[in-house]
Structure 1
């Protein structure tokens, strides 16, 4: 075998995750989980969302915004740390939801996240809800 043979990446075989990407819910991970609550999809972020973990959240948001007219709530109340990598993923998902005539909202009661959104100029784009909407009148 030649030395450059070690640098080659094998082609994915049929039935691998590469073949299934975009179909069905994302794989379970320790940084996000998704559930349906009435008419909207709740993506709950957990722990620290940073450069190393933002794409784990992004996988859930991509799946939640993949259909027509998505109504997504991103619950950030269980997040201990959130940086600009998380903001990038939120902006991408929110733009995708709008393209599909839907919406994406965030749920957070943490002052530190409100300061991050304000500092990034995103507070008007993502005005945080203090909790999950309970009644039909709060869901609109």
Structure 2
């Protein structure tokens, strides 16, 4: 199935076909895996964007995808919590599991979080020491000149 707009075509697989100066460019657009998880690639990193309310039901949806994405040697993962509206102990469990799995496989895990209440939960539980939150995706990706720092 193809969807057409004046400047782009999207096929069922999520590939986006754009015209760039007469050339056709095919790229992968971020597609939601679940209602609470969107995954995309950025600079050699797999970015897992948690969305909405991360509670026990959301964790049950996200868990299998998180396990699949964090189970590869040398994986480079960023978990982005900026679109999260609610975050409880189920979300903390997901972060801890991701950190453990990435560490066991010799990978790298970074966290993006700027929401004051979520930052407070991370700090109170001590998870912010194990997985220091970065304020922006650019900082988590380690891009030069990106503002970084943990809260």
TM interval, shorter chain, is 0.7 to 0.9
- The answer on whether the counterparts of 1:50 and 1:81 sit within 8 Å (CA) in structure 2 is yes
Distance 1:59 1:45 in 2: 14
- The answer on whether the counterparts of 2:51 and 2:81 sit within 8 Å (CA) in structure 1 is yes
What pairs up with 1:35-46 in 2 under 5 angstroms?
A: 35-46=40-51
- The answer on whether the counterparts of 1:43 and 1:60 sit within 8 Å (CA) in structure 2 is no
**Aligned partner of residue 111 in structure 2, secondary structure:** strand
Cα drift, residue 104 of structure 1: 1.4
Distance 1:58 1:138 in 2: 33
Residue 116 (structure 1) aligned with residue 134 (structure 2): no
Name which of 89, 92, 96 aligns with 2:97. 92
Cα drift, residue 120 of structure 1: 0.9
Cα drift, residue 59 of structure 1: 2.5
CA RMSD of aligned residues (A): 1.9
Cα drift, residue 136 of structure 1: 4.4
Residue 29 (structure 1) aligned with residue 34 (structure 2): yes
What do residues 46-65 of structure 1 show as CA deviations (whole Å, max 9, x unaligned)? 00001111122222321221
TM-score by length of 2: 0.69
Gaps in structure 1 of 5+ consecutive residues: 1-26
Distance 1:122 1:28 in 2: 26
What pairs up with 1:1-140 in 2 under 5 angstroms?
A: 28-133=33-138, 136-137=143-144
Closer/same/farther in 2, CA of residues 33 and 120 from structure 1, 3 Å limit:
same
Distance 2:52 2:115 in 1: 14
The number of equivalent residue pairs is 113
Distance 1:111 1:128 in 2: 11
TM-score by length of 1: 0.74
**Aligned partner of residue 98 in structure 2, secondary structure:** helix
Of stretches 78-87 and 118-127 in structure 1, the one that deviates more from structure 2 is 118-127
Gaps in structure 2 of 5+ consecutive residues: 1-31, 147-151
